[in-house]
Amino acid sequence: MSRAEKLTKFLVNLRSDVYLPTFDHIQWVTDQNQLTALRLFELVTKINWKDLKVLEVGFGEGFMLEQFRDAGAVPTGIGLDRDNYKSCDDKGFDVSIMDQSFMDFPDGTFDVLWSQHVLEHSIFPFFTLHEYKRVVRSGGLIYIEVPAPDTSFNHQDDPNHYSVFGKSAWLSLMARTGLRIVDHAELNSLKDSWQDNKYFSFILRKEEK
């Protein structure tokens, strides 16, 4: 069996583990956290969304796709959950079933790539970060948000999480990818009883050639 065949077999066997839907009782909190991330991104980058091509990696139920569309951007989403795909497709969004590590888009397709709580599902995040970089145009922006390890939520133990690292490890991987780190922060859940549910956020720029 070739290396490619071994990797393909491994990924196929993991396919059922790479996504778990958000439970209904925390959906409101999830949406509010997503809006907080969006406002932080807008504040730091001073971005004008009009007509920008935005790729959301892991589109979920389409909450952020709606935010991007309402802001005047042209959003595209990729994910692996077929129920979410049907829901977002029915809403008229441009969505595809696609792995974040093996995207079919040409180089430099998007102005912005948005990835909230998706990169931790990658078995090889350094490779995945290179794929993120590839599909963003020169000068384009990337937003990444991942859960922190060793909180009471123990995200590192989730069965579909393979890459739950400390902030310094993420910063090192991102810098070695060749992406410029514009900003990074530590975020907490907006629900009081979940305040130690910490996340790391990163705003990155693909340097212009």
What residues make up the domain containing 191? 48-206
> Amino acid letter at 62?
G
- Kindly tell me if the per-residue pLDDT of 22 is higher than 70: no
Instruction: Indicate whether 18 pLDDT > 80.
Output: no
Q: Is residue 17 part of a domain?
A: no
What pLDDT does residue 16 have? 65
User: Any long-range contacts for 49-56 (C-beta under 8 Å, 24+ apart)?
Assistant: 49/73, 52/111, 52/112, 53/109, 53/110, 53/111, 53/112, 54/110, 54/111, 54/112, 54/113, 54/114, 55/105, 55/109, 55/110, 55/112, 55/113, 55/114, 55/135, 55/136, 56/114, 56/115
Q: Residues of the chain with pLDDT > 70: what percent?
A: 90
User: Is 79 within the bounds of a domain?
Assistant: yes
Is residue 26 assigned to a domain?
no
Residue 1 binned pLDDT confidence (cut-offs 50, 70, 90): confident
H-helix or E-strand spanning residue 70: helix 63-70
Has residue 8 been placed in a domain? no
CATH label of the domain that carries residue 58: 3.40.50.150
In a domain, residue 67? The reply is yes
Provide the domain count of the chain: 1
How would you list the strands of the sheet with 198-206, edge to edge?
A: 94-97, 74-79, 53-57, 110-116, 136-147, 198-206, 179-188
Tell me the pLDDT of the chain averaged across its residues. 90
Which carries the bigger pLDDT value, residue 36 or residue 78?
A: 78
- Examine residue 43 and state whether it is found in any structural domain, yes or no: no
Is position 10 within any domain? Answer: no
Q: Is 27 part of a structural domain of the chain? A: no
Give 31 or 151, the one with higher predicted confidence: 151
Is the full-model pTM beyond 0.85?
A: yes
